[in-house]
Amino acid sequence: MVSFIYTTGHNNSVRKNTMNYLIKIAVILFFHLYSSIKTSAQLPKAAAPVVAPATALNVTKVLEKAGQFTTMIRILKATQVAAQMDGQLKNSNTGMTLFAPTDNAFNSLPAGALNSITDQQKVELMQYHVLPKFVSATQFMTLSNPVRTQAADRSGQFPLNVITSGNNHVNISTGVVNATISNTLFTNGKLAVYQVDQVLLPQEIFGKSDAPAPSPTSILAPAPSKPVKEIGVSPSNDNGSSIDAPTGSASEDSSDDVAAAANSLDLKACMLFLFFFLFI
């Protein structure tokens, strides 16, 4: 009888200890799961990467960077040809080429030459300085005359004639003037800007010249002494300053710190409770 009572009591004690052990395991698993869910819920989400806007080509900024093209810039803006070029450079894969006369070239024009033409003719004059494709310095030797300009219509008006010689010397004949490419201002595979020593006057606006076109060696352009460097144009605001990517506010950072501290305190309290439950 005593043995039966002892055995029964022993079995009950084993069952009780086993139950307590299972309860403790369940509690541990519960708090572990709770802490994991709580921690993961409080983890800050990874911020989406800020993608810098692609650098847009801007013809007038290229000329401003080069200097001595104030008149060209003013007329390009007034006729909206600059905006037209910027739009085409953004949406086209063929690229563009611009011949830019210096301020001295415009000052050398006969008095009243620009004031005597209409606004539409000024647009055509600026477009006459633009080729609707990218042409590198070496590609001038392979161009076929007459060369089509941006001012050309279906009738084939407003052409240019390009005459090249050795060492990449390039002369341009309009039938009214004979100009020379004297420098490469900008080139990046999509836009090429070349400095010319005269304003390119088309026959369709200024009439024909009786002067014969020069031979390729009569006007030689000095070869650029330095390699051409790409001029980067960064987006700017109305004040001309650079536009930086927006950053989070101070209040958002403070809220994140408070949430992290609360979460840490909550986790410590759970661990302290678990310690007392298991060992005390």
User: Between the CA of residue 79 and those of 63, 69, 83, 122, 151, what are the distances in Å?
Assistant: 16, 16, 9, 7, 13
Given a cut of 90, whether residue 47 has pLDDT beyond it is no
pLDDT of residue 168: 73
Of the listed ranges 128-142, 149-163, 173-187, 211-225, the least confidently predicted one is: 211-225
% of the chain with per-residue pLDDT over 90: 48
β-pair type (159-165, 130-131) = unpaired
Q: What letter does residue 101 receive in the DSSP assignment?
A: E
| Closest alpha carbon to 118 in 206, 209, 208 | 206
Contact between 145 and 162 (Cβ < 8 Å): yes
Domain boundaries, the chain: 1-33, 59-206
Q: Which two tokens stand for residue 235?
A: 């987006």
Taking all residues of the chain, what is their mean pLDDT, rounded to a whole number? 73
Contact between 213 and 174 (Cβ < 8 Å): no
Please tell me which residue, 4 or 168, carries the higher pLDDT value. 168
CATH architecture of 59-206: Roll (2.30)
CB-based burial of residue 85 (10 Å sphere; 0-12 exposed, 13-18 middle, 19+ buried)?
A: buried
* Edge-to-edge strand list for the sheet holding 191-196: 130-131, 96-101, 191-196, 178-187, 169-173, 159-165, 147-148
pLDDT tens, position by position, 60-117: 999 999 999 999 999 999 999 999 999 999 998 999 999 999 999 999 999 999 999 9
H/E element holding 51? none
pTM of the model: 0.57
Please tell me which residue, 278 or 57, carries the higher pLDDT value. 57
Of the listed ranges 169-173, 204-208, 245-249, 267-271, the least confidently predicted one is: 245-249
Within 8 A by CB and 6+ apart from 98, the residues are 59, 85, 129, 130, 131, 191, 192, 193, 194
> In the beta sheet, which residues pair with residue 9?
none
d(CA 225, CA 204): 36
Cis bond before residue 146 (omega within 30° of 0): yes
User: Between the CA of residue 245 and those of 47, 60, 236, what are the distances in Å?
Assistant: 13, 25, 12
